[in-house]
Chains A and B, each alone.
Chain A
Amino acid sequence: MTNTAIHAEGLTKRFGDFTAVDAISFEVKKGEIFGFLGANGAGKTTAMRMLCGLSIPTAGKASVAGFDVYKQTEQIKRSIGYMSQKFSLYEDLTVRENIRFYAGIYGKSDAFIKEKTAFLLKELHLEAEANKLVRSLPLGWKQKLAFSVAIFHEPEIVFLDEPTGGVDPVTRREFWNMIYKAAERGITIFVTTHYMDEAEYCNRVSIMVDGRIDALDTPTQLKKTFEVRSMDEVFLKLARRAKRSGD
């Protein structure tokens, strides 16, 4: 087995004559926390959807967990977790029912579900809320729960699409602690964000501008290359080149 979790080469997606993702190439190593940055409308979500098997690429090659994004989407789906921009747990189901449902459709056994649910609820301090509807939880808790559900079936890679949008700084910090813990267990993290302090937490970061990847390196190296002191400035320098307007 190679050490590569995600491999993309010239990956492209066009909608009519609009090129949303323009021949991007990159590689994510196993166990890495990979930050996938870009302004609104730069093409991050589209790229991510192709990697998750939700969208068929127009051109290029890509493999996720060793499986081809054209032919082996079912295997890819089995090996990844996904947390979308939109909150995607069922608000009219309880915490426990949500966990059980998602674990169940990944084919996990009842014993596995039972044991791991107890462990998870304890870790999230949600034991008292286990039988409450998800609707009644505060947003920060919901997001933490959604992340836990996304990695519940122990995937090789987890895709997080702006997981901390609208969440307070304390909860964001806790959220990132959870991400580190998951990475320590060997789960590859592929995360998009608009918070540049979060970008600093990543092992490596790519910055998309107008559908292309304009920079890809460790945060330290990027700051050196662009001769600035923070990721914020790196991002601004690159994002200002964009011709497309955000959404």
Chain B
Amino acid sequence: MRTLRFLLQKEFRQIFRDPSIIRIIFMMPSIQLLILPWAADYEVKNIQLSVVDHDHSQYSQQMVNKITSSGYFILQDYSGSYGNAMEQIEHDKADLLLEIPAGFEKKLIKENESTLFMAINAINGVKANLGGAYLRSIIQDYNHEVRLKWVQLPRFSPEMQIEVTSSNWFNPLMNYKIFMVPGILVVLVTMVGAFLASLNIVREKEIGTIEQINVTPVKKYHFILGKLIPFWVLGLLILTIGLTIARVAYGIIPVGSLFTIYVFAAVYLLAVLGLGLLLSTYTSNQQQAMLLSFFMMMVFILLSGLYTSVDSMPGWAQAITKVNPVTYFIEVMRMVVLKGSGLNDISSHLFTVLGFAVVLNIWAVINYKKRS
């Protein structure tokens, strides 16, 4: 125990003496949480629309007005020829092209139907999809208005219409930030737990001090605990700072209890620290550790359900998310923060992550050799 005390004392001194670590601890969560949620938003806005109006009628004007006043579209170009408009798309100036044929109004009134043409720039798939859907629903809405106004009795149209109303549970306003902030927080805790810890150990390897420790009677488990405990504390500290920022900046107050979050985080940190330790046993300098961390972080973020829903991933990708500890913490965070889930509800997540912790740490300890 005495040995461990000396190791911890040394480790904390070094951590809090290093200005870059202080910056990481306080600046990283602040910047990531204050900036990222505003940028990483799924709502598609500012869609550049190019309209080709061959009709120049009152109806076509009204429709274009309705589209631009929705707030999602910016009328980029209003031209008379399809070729001109297409050029806008080719130069990536327009995302959507709406062609209104000549005689649009006339046909609509006389023949009770008319066609429009839409060309979508699908380079950005999300924008194309959502932009197209928005435009379609606005036009449908407009269509509805026109029918009510112009189509005379019988007032009830012969076609049946099903109207769907919905209410959003747990995040009534579908505020994207409430969804993203807990996720970003998890990524932060993971970075500190896994990567800061592994860099720290590899640094001792690089400088050669680990060799010096290895010739002392310090036991393997002492050394490992001496490394894990400080970063475990640091991880919880970052979580606390992050939760505070979420509360102050976004008014996000977990519906569930903080206790549940901390219990899960404590176990989760054991798992990612095990991972960090494992990384350090496979790398011999900070550069390697850095690159490996970068790679893993990408996989962790993209295959965790942070940005995209796990359920819509292909089977093999879903399998990867199952062995990605980040997935579990993100789910738990969202469950607790948005739904108010308790320890009982997250127990299966908790045990899975505990399993990760055991496996990763044992693997790392076996791999960490004091002798070669």
Contacts and interface: CB of A to CB of B under 8 A. Distances in A.
A105 B208 contact: no
B14 interface: yes
Given A84-B211, A87-B208, A97 B371 contact: no
A74 B220 CA distance: 11
Interface string A87-131: 111111100010011101111000000000000000000000000
Interface in B120-142: none
Contacts of B211: 54, 84, 86, 88
A52 interface: yes
B287 interface: no
B161 interface: no
Contacts of A106: 216-217
Nearest to A133: B17
A237 interface: no
Given A86-B211, A105-B6, A92 B17 contact: yes
Interface residues of A, number: 28
A107 to B, nearest CB: 7
Given A77-B216, A77-B217, A93-B10, A104 B372 contact: no
Nearest to B214: A54
Nearest to A56: B371
Nearest to B210: A88
A105 B18 CA distance: 23
Given A54-B215, A56-B372, A73-B371, A90 B14 contact: yes
Nearest to A110: B2
A93 B13 contact: yes
Nearest to B372: A55
Interface in B1-59: 2-3, 5-7, 9-10, 13-14, 17-18
B14 A78 contact: no
B152 interface: no
A16 to B, nearest CB: 13
B212 interface: yes
Contacts of A104: 2-3, 5-6, 9
Contacts of B3: 104-105, 107
A105 B371 contact: no
Contact of A105 (B14, B216, B370, B372): B216
B6 A92 contact: no
Contacts of B215: 52-54, 77, 80, 82
B18 A88 contact: no
A190 B48 CA distance: 78
Interface centre among B3, B207, B209, B212 (most CB of A within 10 A): B212
Contact of B10 (A53, A56, A74, A90): A90
Contacts of B299: none
A107 B7 CA distance: 12
B189 to A, nearest CB: 25
Contacts of B218: 105
B371 A54 contact: yes
B177 to A, nearest CB: 39
Nearest to B211: A84
Contacts of B2: 104, 107
A107 B2 CA distance: 7
Contact of B208 (A78, A80, A86): A86
Interface in B188-237: 207-209, 211-218
A51 B216 CA distance: 13
Nearest to B223: A105
A102 B217 CA distance: 11
A88 B215 CA distance: 12
8 contacts: A54-B214, A54-B215, A54-B371, A97-B10, A101-B10, A104-B9, A105-B217, A106-B217
Interface of B: 2-3, 5-7, 9-10, 13-14, 17-18, 207-209, 211-218, 370-372
Interface of A: 52-56, 73-74, 77-78, 80, 82, 84, 86-93, 97, 100-102, 104-107
Given A86-B208, A86-B211, A90-B209, 15 more contacts: A54-B211, A54-B215, A56-B372, A88-B208, A88-B212, A90-B14, A92-B17, A101-B9, A101-B10, A104-B3, A104-B6, A104-B9, A105-B213, A105-B216, A105-B218
